[in-house]
Amino acid sequence: MNLTVVGTGYVGLVTGTCFSEMGNQVTCIDIDQSKIDKLKQGIIPIYEPGLEKMVLRNHDKGFLNFSTNLEEGLENAQVVFIAVGTPMGEDGSADLKYVLDVAKTLGELMTKPIIVVDKSTVPVGTADKVRDTIQHELDKRNIDIEFDVVSNPEFLKEGAAIQDFMKPDRIVVGAEKDSSFDVMKELYAPFTHNHDRMICMDVRSAEMTKYVANAMLATKISFMNEVANICELVGADVNQVRIGIGSDSRIGYSFIYPGSGYGGSCFPKDVKALQKIAEDKGYHADLIQSVEKVNDRQKMVIANKVVQRFGADLKGTTFAIWGLAFKPETDDMREAPAIYIIKDLIQRGAKVKAYDPKAMHEAQSFYLKDNDVQYYDSKYQTLQEADAMILLTEWKEFRSPDFEELKTQMKTPVIFDGRNQYSNLNLEEKGFEYYQIGKK
């Protein structure tokens, strides 16, 4: 099938690449000439395990192409995916400017029937706006071309996006026409060969499903972090409580690990957007608003523990930060707890030395560029003369460090564990002061 994907960000590039892997002819479009030139050279703008090799392989085979020319991209396209950004507006709503800009251009350029697929995370009712925008441009041209607008939200986890796309647990498709469902079923057939995972529904329900899924996962995280804070106050161990409740099949173990809060491009933005969707309809979403409040507070729990241990004035102290990305297997630092914790430590006068396997360039060039942070090539290099080590991202290479090396390098053997990675290792018996989430 001939496909065009508009937008070469995280969702667009993964979508286009995975479809090309199954033999489809895919053209990825972006208005950023520099990004397109780099993609043609095999330079990938994001880190995602397995993505670079797949892009290079399919580009070399001619299945995956990159261009800034949408008109050329539409020449043979049967399906056009809109995968541009929907940044959060000042009021918390999703900004549809880029989505509707694409819709307008499609209406100006299309010459034959196509199916337009909203892949970007968009509010309920966006498909109607996209349809109206395209139709308005067709009316201005005084031509009648058949098209349909389909909602097909993505459910990709950063760090596991390729696996999620190639072996999805569900594919949600919202459409009005049976013919559109048929095309989408054909397109996704290679990904559901062993089991039909496609869930067909109306367009608005599909749009809503994406927001509800992310809000539900964010709710589990905030709930467990709230419980962790209560456990600490009453003298319970949240790690044992987690095991106790997770064994209930109705609850399960996923997303009930206490930590320093969620971040990334999806949960913070989508939780706010869902609040705004409710607000626009006159409904106050108390629970969803609380999820956000708990998360904002949780990002500072480790910083508060540092202050309790070392005092509010941190002049003369040095902290080794292990992990900057909001989660492992990505370089994404959007809304990462590390940003807030590091800025607080520096504001209090501390010296910060940081290491992350993938996210240091992001920190240096954008998220922490105006902050005095020293970056190192290995986790152990950050430890020299450090008053404490603070773990903020659960990368695999942090799971089993040489604790004797930590004690040798550090000024004082103090660990603040923002992800409770070492909660079962009895570090106190190894001579460490150990501080974690949800336990004194």
Residues classed as catalytic: 266
Q: Which residues of 10-46 are buried (b: 16+ CB within 10 A; e: fewer)?
A: bbbbbbbbbbbbbebbbbbbbbeeebbeebeeeebeb
Q: Which residues of 187-204 are buried (b: 16+ CB within 10 A; e: fewer)?
A: bbeebeeeeeebebbebb
Output the DSSP codes for 44-71. Answer: -SS--TTHHHHHHHHHHHTSEEEES-HH
Contact 215, 288 (CB under 8 A): yes
Calpha distance 243→339 (Å, rounded): 30
Two tokens, residue 327: 């989660």
CA dist 39 to 34, 84, 94, 179, Å? 9, 17, 28, 34
The DSSP element (H or E) to which 305 belongs, if any, is helix 301-310
Q: Which residues of 354-381 are buried (b: 16+ CB within 10 A; e: fewer)?
A: bbbbbbbebbeeebbeeeebebbeebbe
Pairing of strands 198-201, 388-391: unpaired
